[in-house]
Chains A and B, each alone.
Chain A
Amino acid sequence: MLDMNNMDVLLFDNRTDQSLMIEEMLKQIGCRVSLVMVKSDCFAKLINGRYDLVLFDHSIPGLDVPGFVNKLEIIDRSMSVAMMVTLPSRFYEEKYGCSGIDYLIFKPFGYEDLLLLVREAFQYSQGVKQTILNKWK
């Protein structure tokens, strides 16, 4: 059984109504949540602290997704990256198949879907961390 109380999630969303709801759900799951609404704040948070999961919305206006994800990978490779999406899956497979996005979560989603995502992201993040530690030994 995973203990999600240690999980740090960075939520990046420019819509207050949606982000507040997701923040509340993540807190109920047991995560520590940091909510940011601007890209520069997102990078500032990532540089100052470590996160297990970054969850961001695809529909943020003007967001260059591949560039944003590349920067995330440069900052921390072991961190899981999840994108909230709405369009058909084939669109994302074609456009972002080779980018560093680990998970897509399709809207509309509820508590169970988010819980599943957090669990998988946590497992992934722990696995990558372990691999990096083993390499250093």
Chain B
Amino acid sequence: METRSKINNQQKLWDRPKDGNRTAPEGRGKSGDRRCGADRRSGYGKNEDHLLRGTLAASASIVFQFSRPFTIILGYVDLLLNKSKEKHTKNKLAIIKEQLEIISEILSDFRELDDFKTKNFDGVEILATKNMMEEEAPNKLDRKLT
């Protein structure tokens, strides 16, 4: 008897309707739905929370590790700029300072990150920061290749 009832149960599992009607007659809500009540739209789920938390931790880590060396470099460039009298050296130091200020802005964007947004760069998903969105305009220092 026992064996037979087991076989019957197995058959019941295999006996699924073939024409795609798999919904429970009284609806999922009443029949022990496995899903939680949280909103599952994109940007509202658990996965997005984890992504945002991971991103915030990574960005804070980048800012934390990079800030001190860049402070020292930027500080000494400023000191050299103030002391230097040679025009040629001053121009080059000014370019270095300009680039350091760009890095400083990028770090500031990472610091104030509060949203998880990505941007497609040649098929690779990269983190979209405010600075990156405004970067579309060409740099005036870029050389013309044509």
Contact = CB atoms under 8 A, between A and B. Distances in A.
Nearest to B79: A24
B97 to A, nearest CB: 8
Interface string A72-91: 00000000000010111111
A108 B107 contact: yes
A21 B79 contact: yes
Contacts of A107: 67-68, 70-71
A111 to B, nearest CB: 4
Interface residues of B, number: 29
A64 B105 CA distance: 30
B90 interface: no
Nearest to B104: A108
Interface residues of A, number: 23
Nearest to B110: A88
A86 B68 contact: yes
A34 interface: no
Interface in A102-135: 106-112
B75 A22 contact: yes
Contacts of B107: 108
A33 B85 CA distance: 26
Interface of A: 15, 17-18, 21-22, 24-25, 28, 59, 84, 86-91, 106-112
24 contacts: A17-B72, A21-B71, A21-B75, A21-B79, A24-B79, A59-B64, A59-B68, A84-B71, A86-B64, A87-B60, A87-B63, A88-B56, A88-B111, A89-B111, A106-B67, A106-B111, A107-B68, A108-B71, A108-B74, A110-B77, A110-B97, A110-B100, A110-B101, A111-B75
